[in-house]
Chains A and B, each alone.
Chain A
Amino acid sequence: MTVVMGRAAREARGSGSPRGGSGRARKQPLLTTLTPYLFLLVPVTLLLVFVYLPSIDLVWYGFSDYAGLGTPKWVGLANYQEVYQRPELFRAFWVSLYYMVGSVVQMVLALYLATVLSFSVRFRNLWKGIIFFPFLLNTVAIAMIFQFAFQENGTVDAVLSLVGLGSVKQQWLGNTSIVNWSMVTVSIWRYLGLNFVIFLGAIQSIPGALYEAADLDGASRWQQFRYIIFPGIKPLVALSFILSIAGSLAAFDTPYIILKGANGTQTFVIEIVQLAFVESHKVGLASALAIILLVITLIVVVGLRRLLPDEKVNLT
């Protein structure tokens, strides 16, 4: 997509820029000078009030004993010490690792399905629709669909019996060594379609002449994937992967709705919500955890950005 969009944007900008400066040289009336500021008044206010002000508050709360009421008192590093001394608070980090593994699986599956469906296939639109549709479903509906699926004698057990794997039946939500894999499966089910559709769009924007040439040269499907498709969409795969990893750290909905974070499914965000709103009002401690999550996310995202390729690809 970046490949396509980049080109369109460049052309558009090219046509606009020679004239861009012409209006500025003249002396402008006051109202004209003020216009852009008037246009930006509401959006910038919203940005400050709902993004930057809370970010600053968050840092301050993290160093305070704030309980949601009254005035916060400075307590230095006490909250961070508490996080350090209560390793159970930090266990959420290990839970996100499950989701990160899930992200890898999700990328591979999405890439495979997008590649298969970019070549001629019967009922292509039907397959595409089926794989994408779950992404459009309501968060709570998805959680509940899988609450039933993972029940004893629910959907998963029934399917396993059907294909003769009745012996692997499990307590999908009760067994603490499996429950996080169950949660990750839901996450893959939900987001696979989005990655798939994005990859499919990018693959289809690769010029068809490249495949024709490859066909003439007798390249196999795998070679076409390896040397044309994958290099063509690598930056997009990298970007999707980074977003997905960042999403792993922010996992909340499914484990909260199905299990309220019980059985070892507690993620960072569940912990923060429970500390700040549901079980207690330790806003200070929750803020410290949120800052830790924020720092980990930034390190992971920036680190991956460095690690993964970002070069612009030109296939034409």
Chain B
Amino acid sequence: MLSALKYASLLAASAFMLVPMLVILFNSLKSNDELFSGYPLALPHGLHLSNYATAWTDGNMARGFLNTGIILVVSLVGNILVASMTAYALDRFEFRGKKLVLAGFVVATLIPGITTQVAVFQIVNHLGLFNTRWSAILLFLGTDIISIYIFLQFLRGIPRELDEAAALDGANVLSIFFRIIFPLLRPAIATVCIVKGVAIYNDFFVPFLYMPKPELQTVSTSLYAFQGPYGGQWEIISAAIVIIALPSLVLFLALQRYVYNGFTSGATK
């Protein structure tokens, strides 16, 4: 009895999660007539794959993926370098102002980023970065404590003897960091890639606000642009949604364990 209730509740929760997505998948395979006159839960009669072609070309989605790809790669590489170097300096060195720097990063997490956007926008504008990819790259590359924390946690598990042995062999700090420590950080780098990568790929606010120029559309803003001209054509919009959801699904299916680990360790810091 109790067990039946348990499975019933799991089924209900799964239906709540799945049905809205499945309906969009069905939509994307229906013809316009079929979608308009039919019942949303009905399976598509044929496979109108032409919806996907229309969405891809008319929505300029190749451009969206290219822009998102560039921003994703550059800001991820930058974020990993910056955050791991910060963590290394804070964990391995004693220096004047260390407490201040640490406090600076911690207090920054108390300020909800979205509240300061009005002023951040003025700065980005003054730096001449408005409507350039650099605006998004710098903002994503930034200073969030999550990546720094992930690296700090991980660094603490790497014995200092390793640094010291290398120093005795005459290696300088840079080569100790890049040739010995950095390669050992691989699992932490994977976590940061997943957590930050998902956030960057899915973000709407930054590209919407800082890069309104059509040539700089990302996946998010290219999907957003469907809203006006394609108002009623849900088979095309649905195809675009499926195209954008596909990389997320592939990432999830391929790296399930890492994705879970990334979010459970990253999100609670």
Spell out A's residues near B (CB within 8 Å).
Answer: 1-2, 5, 8-9, 12-13, 15-16, 19-21, 23-24, 32-33, 35-37, 39-40, 42-44, 46-47, 49-55, 57-58, 61, 68, 109, 112-113, 116-117, 121-122, 125, 127, 129-141, 144-146, 148-149, 153-155, 158-159, 162, 189, 193-194, 197-198, 201-202, 221, 236, 239-240, 246, 249-250, 252-253, 257, 269, 272-273, 276-277, 283, 286-287, 290-291, 293-294, 297-298, 301
**Chain A nearest Cβ from B7, distance in angstroms:** 8
Determine the distance from Cα of A314 to Cα of B209 in the docked complex, in whole angstroms.
46
The 8 A-B pairs of least Cβ separation, nearest first, read A54-B119, A39-B89, A12-B156, A36-B93, A57-B119, A201-B264, A139-B204, A58-B119
Task: Known contacts A1-B265, A39-B89, A252-B114; decide if A50 and B20 are in contact (CB<8 Å).
Answer: no
Which residue of B20, B104, B198 contacts A155 across the interface (Cβ within 8 Å)? B20
Asked if B40 lies at the interface with its beta carbon under 8 angstroms from chain A, I say yes
Offer 23 A-B interface pairs, CB within 8 angstroms, sorted by A.
A19-B161, A32-B173, A37-B95, A39-B85, A39-B88, A40-B85, A43-B143, A46-B82, A50-B138, A55-B111, A68-B122, A122-B7, A135-B263, A138-B220, A138-B245, A140-B221, A148-B20, A153-B40, A155-B40, A158-B39, A221-B2, A277-B121, A283-B122
Asked if B98 lies at the interface with its beta carbon under 8 angstroms from chain A, I say yes
Asked if B57 lies at the interface with its beta carbon under 8 angstroms from chain A, I say no
Task: Known contacts A36-B95, A129-B256, A297-B112; decide if A47 and B159 are in contact (CB<8 Å).
Answer: no
Q: Which residue of chain B has the shortest Cβ distance to A60 in the bound complex?
A: B119
Main secondary structure of the interface of A (DSSP, over half): helix
Instruction: Please report the total number of B residues contacting A with Cβ < 8 Å.
Output: 94
Asked if B164 lies at the interface with its beta carbon under 8 angstroms from chain A, I say yes
Determine the distance from Cα of A154 to Cα of B234 in the docked complex, in whole angstroms.
11
CB neighbours (8 Å) of B98 from chain A are 36
Asked if B191 lies at the interface with its beta carbon under 8 angstroms from chain A, I say no
**Chain A nearest Cβ from B214, distance in angstroms:** 16
CB neighbours (8 Å) of A137 from chain B are 202, 245, 248
Determine the distance from Cα of A36 to Cα of B102 in the docked complex, in whole angstroms.
13
Partner-binding segment picked from B10-18, B45-53, B182-190? B10-18
Q: Knowing that A140-B204, A159-B41 are A-B contacts, what are 8 other residue pairs whose CB atoms are under 8 Å apart, sorted by A's residue number?
A: A35-B89, A35-B93, A39-B86, A43-B85, A133-B17, A135-B263, A145-B21, A297-B115
CB neighbours (8 Å) of A133 from chain B are 17, 248-249, 252
Which residue of A117, A121, A236 contacts B268 across the interface (Cβ within 8 Å)? A236
Q: Which residue of chain A has the shortest Cβ distance to B14 in the bound complex?
A: A130
Task: Known contacts A36-B98, A138-B245; decide if A55 and B267 are in contact (CB<8 Å).
Answer: no
Determine the distance from Cα of A148 to Cα of B14 in the docked complex, in whole angstroms.
19
CB neighbours (8 Å) of B241 from chain A are 141, 144-145
Query: Would A112 and B9 count as touching, CB distance under 8 A?
Result: yes
**Chain A nearest Cβ from B265, distance in angstroms:** 7
**Chain A nearest Cβ from B164, distance in angstroms:** 7
Query: Would A197 and B116 count as touching, CB distance under 8 A?
Result: no
Task: Known contacts A148-B23, A273-B209, A294-B111; decide if A35 and B219 are in contact (CB<8 Å).
Answer: no
Determine the distance from Cα of A210 to Cα of B226 in the docked complex, in whole angstroms.
54
Asked if B31 lies at the interface with its beta carbon under 8 angstroms from chain A, I say no
CB neighbours (8 Å) of B249 from chain A are 133, 136
Determine the distance from Cα of A202 to Cα of B260 in the docked complex, in whole angstroms.
12
Query: Would A61 and B256 count as touching, CB distance under 8 A?
Result: no
**Chain B nearest Cβ from A283, distance in angstroms:** 6
**Chain A nearest Cβ from B210, distance in angstroms:** 10
Determine the distance from Cα of A135 to Cα of B202 in the docked complex, in whole angstroms.
10
Return the CB mask of B71-86 against A: 1 if under 8 Å, else 0.
0000000000011011
Which residue of A130, A132, A162, A198 contacts B41 across the interface (Cβ within 8 Å)? A162
Q: Which residue of chain A has the shortest Cβ distance to B256 in the bound complex?
A: A129
Query: Would A198 and B263 count as touching, CB distance under 8 A?
Result: yes
CB neighbours (8 Å) of A116 from chain B are 6, 9-10
Asked if B180 lies at the interface with its beta carbon under 8 angstroms from chain A, I say no
Task: Known contacts A39-B89, A137-B248, A158-B39; decide if A15 and B202 are in contact (CB<8 Å).
Answer: no
Determine the distance from Cα of A55 to Cα of B110 in the docked complex, in whole angstroms.
12
CB neighbours (8 Å) of A221 from chain B are 2
Determine the distance from Cα of A28 to Cα of B170 in the docked complex, in whole angstroms.
15
